[in-house]
């Protein structure tokens, strides 16, 4: 097929030998199946900021460090230079997260690098060698749902121990290969310690996955892994080998009503955003 303009530099540099076919076209990026030597990989082309649909990106950028103070100031001011820096930071965030999480033992695609807004990474396949399906496209038995949920919770735990939260985890961002779930789509990953929205995003990620798997294993709907993880993380007691139970005893202290209402409002806004992204994903 004709080589997309954005992939041509990778061909010129010998990083890609052939573009085999389009894999998907989404609101955030276009993905192509490519050949690099004897390996079949995928190339993810990030769309320009004005063409992306990701809302409230500022929530996800909070806590990300600029490469130097000049760039950080420019990003805060929103100058043309600053916007370019923000765009590069957004594009590089995913490859940085993939390297970091792979090192932490999280099941993610192996990254090979990000080149001028094109992420070159492993193509996840099923047992027959076909492109692995997204989790929302499969039906699970109760036993499979319980086993896969355990794997995903352990990966979320490892991510948190590595200082990251996915920020948009759902059945649409998990592939299923021959060995189980593989987490994908991480450009919005947030710093667990530096982002004020981290706790809420962790709870949303965990609850999204629990609700999905709960369709097949309703007993999962009673678990409280997010609260358990965050409490251990805040107290400095969470590590990759911590044995989680899914149980958490709520505090009996009087609630701060204003804070609770603010949390509810924020959660509602985020759920509306999630539904919109799911709709766009289906339409795309």
- Convert the pLDDT of each residue in 196-250 to its tens digit: 999 999 999 999 999 999 999 999 999 999 999 999 999 999 999 999 999 998 8
Euclidean distance between CA atoms 76 and 74, whole angstroms: 5
**Mean pLDDT within 65-80:** 55
Q: Which CATH number fits domain 8-283: 1.10.3470, 1.10.510, 2.40.50, 1.10.287?
A: 1.10.510
What percentage of the chain exceeds 90 in pLDDT? 68
28-65 confidence digits (pLDDT tens) = 899 999 999 999 999 999 987 665 555 545 555 665 55
Instruction: Write down the pLDDT at residue 213.
Output: 98
The alpha helices in 6-133, defined as continuous H runs, are: 8-12, 57-61, 69-77, 80-103
Q: Where do the structural domains in the chain lie, given as residue ranges?
A: 8-283
pTM: 0.81
Euclidean distance between CA atoms 223 and 199, whole angstroms: 17
The token pair at 48 is: 């320009």
């Amino acid at each position: 097929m004709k080589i997309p303009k954005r992939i041509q530099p990778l061909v010129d540099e010998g990083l890609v030998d052939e573009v085999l076919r389009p894999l998907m076209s989404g609101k955030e990026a276009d993905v192509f199946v490519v050949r690099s030597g004897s390996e079949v990989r995928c190339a993810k082309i990030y769309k320009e900021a004005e063409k992306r649909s990701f809302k409230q990106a500022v929530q996800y950028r909070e806590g990300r460090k600029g490469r130097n103070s000049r760039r950080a100031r420019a990003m805060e001011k929103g100058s043309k230079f600053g916007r370019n820096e923000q765009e590069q930071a957004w594009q590089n965030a995913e490859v940085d997260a993939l390297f970091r999480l792979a090192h932490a033992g999280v099941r993610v695609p192996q990254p090979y690098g990000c080149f001028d807004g094109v992420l070159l990474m492993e193509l996840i396949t099923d047992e027959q060698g076909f492109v692995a399906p997204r989790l929302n496209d499969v039906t699970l038995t109760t036993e499979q749902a319980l086993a896969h949920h355990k794997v995903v919770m352990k990966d979320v735990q490892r991510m948190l121990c590595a200082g990251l939260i996915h920020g948009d985890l759902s059945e649409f961002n998990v592939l299923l290969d021959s060995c189980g779930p593989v987490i994908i789509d991480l450009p919005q990953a947030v710093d667990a310690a530096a982002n004020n929205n981290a706790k809420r995003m962790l709870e949303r990620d965990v609850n999204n996955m629990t609700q999905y798997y709960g369709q097949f294993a309703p007993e999962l709907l009673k678990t409280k892994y997010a609260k358990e993880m965050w409490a251990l993380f805040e107290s400095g007691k969470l590590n990759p080998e911590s044995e989680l139970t899914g149980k958490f005893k709520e505090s009996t202290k009087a609630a701060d009503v204003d804070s609770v209402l603010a949390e509810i409002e924020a959660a509602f806004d985020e759920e509306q955003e999630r539904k919109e992204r799911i709709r766009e994903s289906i339409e795309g």
